[in-house]
Amino acid sequence: MDIRYQLKPRAARRQKPFLPDGPLPFGQLRTDHMFLMDYVDGRWIDPRIVPYGPLALAPGAVALHYAQEIFEGAKAFLHEDGEIHAFRIDKNAARLNRSGAGVLIPPIPEDDQVQAILSLLDVDRLWAPHQEGASLYIRPFVFGTQDSLGVKPSSRYTFCVFLSPSGPYYPAGFREPVKLLVTRRFHRAAPGGTGAFKTGGNYAASLMAGHVAHEHGASQVLFLDVTDTYIEEAGAMNHFHVTRAGELLIPTFTETILRSITSESVLELGERHLGVRVRQDRIPVEQFLDDVRSGAITEAGGFGTAAVVSAVGSYVFDDATELRVGDGHIGPHTRKVYEALTGIQRGKRPAPEGWLFLAKRVESTARPGE
Ligand SMILES: *Cc1c(COP(=O)(O)O)cnc(C)c1O
């Protein structure tokens, strides 16, 4: 793919390494540039890196009305060697295309997606934050742009990638376990629906659940399947728990659960790297809660790119009663998994072959206009 560069004037770009001294927010800041590519007449055309800024969009664009949109979330890290390494973005590229297949958005070759991300990381490399726990959050997304009110797939799309220099997802850091609301009032996904696709509409549909969770002092709902029998996942994290026998369980991926790359990484690392057996199974919610009560389950939490690993300290119910997990603090297995994953991401531990993608330095003279 031949990327066209239309960069900001040198003087208007970040000139020095990004050394924030205060806490960095998550997802608020932007870098100087973004990647864009359009789908017109059945082809992806004009891949380009341009200044970050507003997009021109017809008010009748399909995505604005019928939510034909898919997105991804990944992270890149500044290592001690001064280079930027993106974590498993080939998996994100494959998943973007699976999500696209679910809502009739045309695929983008995975190699082109990876090249788009790495090229943007190279151009904006000075934005990689030098800060413990910080990263460059990567947001690729595709949306239908055809100006048409018929309910049908758009004939045109835009693929965009931008970057957000971010601190840890939870301002309190990994020290504060979260609370989840267990309720039968809301469901995130239904069989035959879009739960396994990373599409914006799923998130619009989860906002009220998140709002009610907050009213209960919880950070999100722990969603159950539509029969209220099995644990599925939280808003933007897969769920997991650890048994007293020392096994980590993740609900089996179904068509109503988003296949988390963080979960897949934990499954691939397994006992050899994590010191705990890892497997998937259907998790009946009543049995789960009984086991938390009896102490047979000692730890629980969530997996997702943003927070990497979140510990669940307690579950809260509609009647405001609460159930603590273990002693309510972060358990040893949860901590071990967090340290293994973040260690690999930050280059402090050896990464399995192919998990890190180096943003190669391209001589700036190789970019027209520089
Ligand atoms: C993105 C997402 C996750 C986490 O997936 P990762 O690949 O680990 O970031 C979990 N659940 C839902 C619903 C998601 O959208």
Measured in Å, residue 121 CA sits from the centre of ligand 1 at 22
pTM above 0.95, yes or no: yes
Task: Output the CA angle 357-349-112, nearest 5 degrees.
Answer: 10
Give the per-residue pLDDT at 369.
66
pLDDT of 171: 66
Ligand 1, atom 13, residue with closest C-alpha: 236
Out of 233, 237, 262, 308, mutate this one to test ligand 1's pocket (max ligand atoms within 8 Å of CB): namely: 237
Q: Angle formed by the axes of helices 89-102 and 110-123, to 10°?
A: 130
173-330 matches 4-167+352-366 in CATH topology? no
CATH number of 4-167+352-366: 3.30.470.10
The ranges of the chain with pLDDT < 70 are 171-173, 369
Please identify which residue in the block is written with the tokens 């800024």: 53
292 in Cβ contact with 323 (< 8 Å)? yes
Q: Mind listing the pLDDT tens digit for each residue in 199-238?
A: 999 999 999 999 999 999 999 999 999 999 999 999 899 9
* pLDDT given for residue 172 in this prediction: 64
Q: What per-residue confidence (pLDDT) applies to 176?
A: 84
Average confidence score pLDDT of the chain? 96
73 lines ligand 1 (CB under 6 A): yes
Residue 285 falls in which region: left (phi positive, over 0), alpha (psi -120 to 50) or beta: alpha
Locate the domains of the chain by residue range: 4-167+352-366, 173-330
pLDDT for res 229: 98
What is the C-alpha separation between 85 and 79, in angstroms, rounded?
A: 7
What pLDDT is recorded for position 367? Answer: 82
- Return d(Cα 249, Cα 247) in angstroms, integer: 6
CA distances from residue 300 to 71, 309, 327, 336 in whole angstroms, order as listed: 27, 10, 11, 13
Strands 297-304 and 308-317: antiparallel
C-alpha distance from residue 241 to each of 223, 231, 285, 326, 330 (Å) = 15, 11, 12, 11, 12
Residue 42's CB: how many other CB atoms inside 10 A?
Answer: 7
- Amino acid present at 268: E
Cβ(304) to ligand 1 under 6 A?
yes
Separation in Å, CA 341 to CA 156, 232, 251: 38, 22, 19
Q: How far is the CA of 366 from the centre of ligand 1 (A)?
A: 36
Quote the DSSP letter at residue 231: B
Atom number of ligand 1 nearest to Cα 305 = 9
Measured from the Cα of 264, ligand 1's closest atom is 8
- Assign a CATH topology to domain 173-330: D-amino Acid Aminotransferase; Chain A, domain 2 (3.20.10)
- Using alpha carbons, select from 114, 156, 106, 105 the residue that is nearest to residue 138: 114
